[in-house]
Amino acid sequence: MRTPLPRSPFLRSLAIGLIAATALTTTGCARNRTKGDIPYVARDVGTLYTAARKQLDQRNYKIAAALFDEVERQHPYSVWARRAQLMSAFSYYLAHDYTASIQSAQRFLTVHPGNRDAAYAYYLVSLGYYEQISDVTRDQKITQQALDSLGELMRRYPNTRYAADARLKVDLVRDHLAGKEMEIGRFYEVRGQWLAANGRFRKVVEEYQTTTHTPEALMRLTETYLALGVPDEARKSAAVLGANYPGTQWYERAYKLSNEHPPVNVAALAPGQQIVADRTSVADSIPGKSNDIKRDTSAAAPIGGGSGTNPGNPNPGN
State the architecture of 192-300 in CATH terms.
Alpha Horseshoe (1.25)
What is the location of CATH 1.25.40.10 in the chain? 45-176
Residue 223 CA to residue 194 CA, distance in Å, equals: 9
Write the burial class of residue 164 (CB in 10 Å: 0-12 exposed, 13-18 middle, 19+ buried).
exposed
pLDDT for 261: 74
Residue 100's H or E segment, with its range, is helix 98-111
pLDDT for 71: 85
- Give ∠ CA 58-61-63 in degrees, rounded to 5: 95
pLDDT for 79: 81
Q: Decide which of 3.40.1350.10, 1.25.40.10, 3.40.50.2300, 3.50.50.60 is the CATH code for 45-176.
A: 1.25.40.10
Cβ–Cβ under 8 Å, residues 29 and 22: no
pLDDT for 33: 44
pLDDT for 77: 77
Q: Which residues of the chain have pLDDT under 70?
A: 1-45, 262-310, 312-318
Q: Which residues pair with 287 in a beta bridge?
A: 290
Residues 6+ apart with CB under 8 A from 219: 237, 238, 241, 250, 251, 253, 254
Give the CA count within 13 Å in the CB-facing half-sphere of 119: 16
Q: Which residue, among 179, 190, 125, has the nearest Cα to 300 in the 3D structure?
A: 179
pLDDT for 203: 97
Q: Which residue, among 103, 80, 74, 76, has the nearest Cα to 91 in the 3D structure?
A: 103
pLDDT for 40: 52
